[in-house]
Homo-oligomer: A and B are copies of this chain.
Amino acid sequence: MPHLIVEYSANLAGYPEAEALAALNAAVCASPEVKDEADLKTRFVHTSAFEIGTAPANRAFVHAELRLLAGRTPQAKADLAERVAAVLRRLTPRPAGLMVQLSVDVVDMDRPSYVKERL
């Protein structure tokens, strides 16, 4: 069931999306929380324009949102977030002169109303 959505600012050109997708899925599916590897649906969504803060600084971000059915323990959620962070920490470009922020947001999805099926 997990959904993983990754965004990054456009000044991180050359982001290795394909490598990141494979590494993210390997890392998250290795968690005991993921019962079936086919459940993890990871994608990149592009942002069209961005601005970080108000100071005239060279800044970039990469952000991941991991959406899971509610009911995980806080420990399990923190472990999953760290699995995602570890991949992004390793693969995110760090152009000279750019301050890059990394963040991971774990979201509980409403279990009773969630629909999931294979067509």
A residues near B (Cβ < 8 Å) are: 1, 3, 7, 9, 17-18, 21-22, 24-26, 29, 36-55, 57, 59, 61, 63, 67, 74, 77-78, 80-82, 84-85, 89, 92, 94, 99-110, 112-119
Contacts and interface: CB of A to CB of B under 8 A. Distances in A.
Contacts of A37: 53-55
Nearest to A22: B51
Contacts of A40: 52-54
A81 B114 contact: yes
A21 B104 CA distance: 22
A105 B99 contact: no
Copies of this chain, complex-wide, total: 3
Contacts of A116: 101-103
Given A48-B43, A89-B119, A94-B119, A113 B54 contact: no
